[in-house]
Structure 1
Amino acid sequence: MTSTENLTIAPYVTGYPGVAFGGYVAGLLAARADAKEVRVDFRAAVPVATGLVIADGPDGEVAIRDGAGAGLAVAVPAEVGVEAPEPPTWDEAERAADRQLASLRRNPPPIPDCYGCGPDVLPGRGLKLLPGRVESRPELLAGAWVPDRELAGPDGTLPPEIVWSALDCPGGWVGMRIGRMPEGAVTARLTGTQPLPVRAGERHVSYAWLLHREGRKTTVGVALATAEGELCALGEALWISPREHTAG
């Protein structure tokens, strides 16, 4: 028997205006999926401040649908096809985040209130992940991160939708900074797993690396570790760049 649940995503949980943050959506689905490793495919923009439905399907599928029943994002059991490299140290990640923040102060980001990487969002209204280049490891972007307590549940741990949100924006930044992915790309697929809980108020290292770039497709790896180097979450994401418009 298929079960359903109604939900509405808060209006501030956005990447692009009016569109629910991809990692957050993926985490909502992953929390309901009966699997430790989950792939989420995004089929259409998921709106915020709008009535939605999460519905179970066959073979462990879980989907978010709009009011008319159209599937917007679908999760299925899957294996994460990437291994995390050794994380940067806390000091390396802290310096990288400081450089990213300084860069954003000089050149304001196109989406300053992004739920994942907006630098000035209020506590509990975003993650404030700031991945910057790691000086000693140019293939990585990283950021030091202490999650706001307002993001956690009553037990002090972050719910899946917050942890999976941390697997989103860093991948976009590494795609742009290292893979030369153009602005305007979207998360088309996110596969992830969470082997350890993530606690608010504790030090973590977020880091991302480029896997492949071909045409409009950019594939990246993203991980979240404790400051001591224990892997908390791991993801592989496919980003799709917008089609180029030609005059005519």
Structure 2
Amino acid sequence: MGDRTDAKTITVPERLHGYPGVAFGGYVAGVLAARVDAAAVRVDFRRPVPTGTAVSFADAPDGGSALMDGELLLAAAAPAPWEAGELPGMPSWEEASAAAEAYRAAPPEGQVDCFGCGLDRTPGTGLRLHCGQVAGRDLVATAWTPGAELATAEGVLPDELVWGALDCPGNAAGRLLDGRPAGAVTAALTARLLRPVPVFAGAGLVSYSWMRESGGRKYGVGTELATAAGELCAVGEALWVVPRG
């Protein structure tokens, strides 16, 4: 599933879409981040990355990497400073499971076939990040277990899918904690991967997100990914934008 870091082009298959015809942002961010030698990387999205169409990698200033469609800049990745700041406590597996069940029982209107959070996906064809609000907390979370089909030969989640696990929860935070409408897009995603993420029977994961700021059409979130046992695997922050109209 991953892309070789020395490749010149990439064609994202349609099955890896967020919205129809648009590549899943977390996946694209992870592919670009793999080409940047830094502990934390920020990826800025300038235009939608299409599925089913070859787009090109290009070098960017200061050790960064860019994704181009001809002369058009689609996304750019660069080393980023990382300051954790104040973080919420991780929800338990039980809390995250209850939040996910609440989401599935009454899902907000949205894209049901998104690779990251689509309700129509199976564990082998999507991440199934069904984030509902954690009872009594300003936090959304989901408990999930990746399908074996998503693992590398070493039995871990590919880095680009770890980035994906930090993406869709931000949409849920905006929808459920800040009253945002469907259709928001990731404008920027910054992440730091801390340890390999296991994929095997019984290896549950918890993704969770919270609001950091909100104003106008934009809002910022924090997101984390941990094992069910409470080991933090990756941390991220993202800027989301609600399109005009």
TM-score bin (small chain)? over 0.9
Match of 1:34 among 21, 37, 43: 37
- Which residue of structure 1 lines up, in the alignment, with residue 212 of structure 2? 211
CA offsets 1:54-80 (integer angstroms, 9 cap, x no match): 2223311111111x1321000000023
CA distance in 2 between counterparts of 1:121 and 1:4 reads 29
Distance 1:11 1:99, change over 3 A: same
Under a length normalisation based on structure 2, what TM-score does the superposition of the two structures give? 0.92
Is the 2:112–2:119 Cα contact (8 Å) retained in structure 1?
yes
CA offsets 1:123-149 (integer angstroms, 9 cap, x no match): 432101111111132x00011011111
Q: Which amino acid aligns with 2:72?
A: A
- Which residue of structure 2 lines up, in the alignment, with residue 172 of structure 1? 171
CA distance in 1 between counterparts of 2:148 and 2:161 reads 12
Paired residue secondary structure (2:16): coil
Shift of 1:172: 0.5
Is the 1:80–1:235 Cα contact (8 Å) retained in structure 2?
no
Is the 1:11–1:48 Cα contact (8 Å) retained in structure 2?
yes
Paired residue secondary structure (1:178): helix
Identity of aligned pairs, percent?
Answer: 50
- Which residue of structure 2 lines up, in the alignment, with residue 184 of structure 1? 183
Is the 1:193–1:233 Cα contact (8 Å) retained in structure 2?
yes
CA distance in 2 between counterparts of 1:92 and 1:241 reads 29
Give 5+ residue unaligned stretches, structure 2.
1-5
Is the 2:15–2:115 Cα contact (8 Å) retained in structure 1?
yes
Give 5+ residue unaligned stretches, structure 1.
none
CA offsets 1:75-126 (integer angstroms, 9 cap, x no match): 000023444322001111111111111113xx6x421101111122134321
Q: Which amino acid aligns with 1:224?
A: L
Q: Which amino acid aligns with 1:18?
A: G
CA distance in 2 between counterparts of 1:241 and 1:124 reads 30
Is the 1:79–1:191 Cα contact (8 Å) retained in structure 2?
no
CA distance in 2 between counterparts of 1:12 and 1:46 reads 14
Is the 2:217–2:241 Cα contact (8 Å) retained in structure 1?
yes
CA distance in 1 between counterparts of 2:239 and 2:110 reads 21
CA distance in 2 between counterparts of 1:57 and 1:111 reads 33
- Which residue of structure 1 lines up, in the alignment, with residue 232 of structure 2? 231
Alignment of 1:70-89 (within 5 A): 70-83=72-85, 84-89=87-92
CA distance in 1 between counterparts of 2:171 and 2:81 reads 21
Alignment of 1:78-227 (within 5 A): 78-83=80-85, 84-104=87-107, 109-137=109-137, 139-201=138-200, 202-227=203-228
- Which residue of structure 1 lines up, in the alignment, with residue 3 of structure 2? none
Please provide the CA RMSD for this pair: 1.4
Paired residue secondary structure (1:239): strand
CA distance in 2 between counterparts of 1:151 and 1:144 reads 17
CA distance in 2 between counterparts of 1:70 and 1:81 reads 32
Distance 1:80 1:182, change over 3 A: farther
Shift of 1:169: 0.7
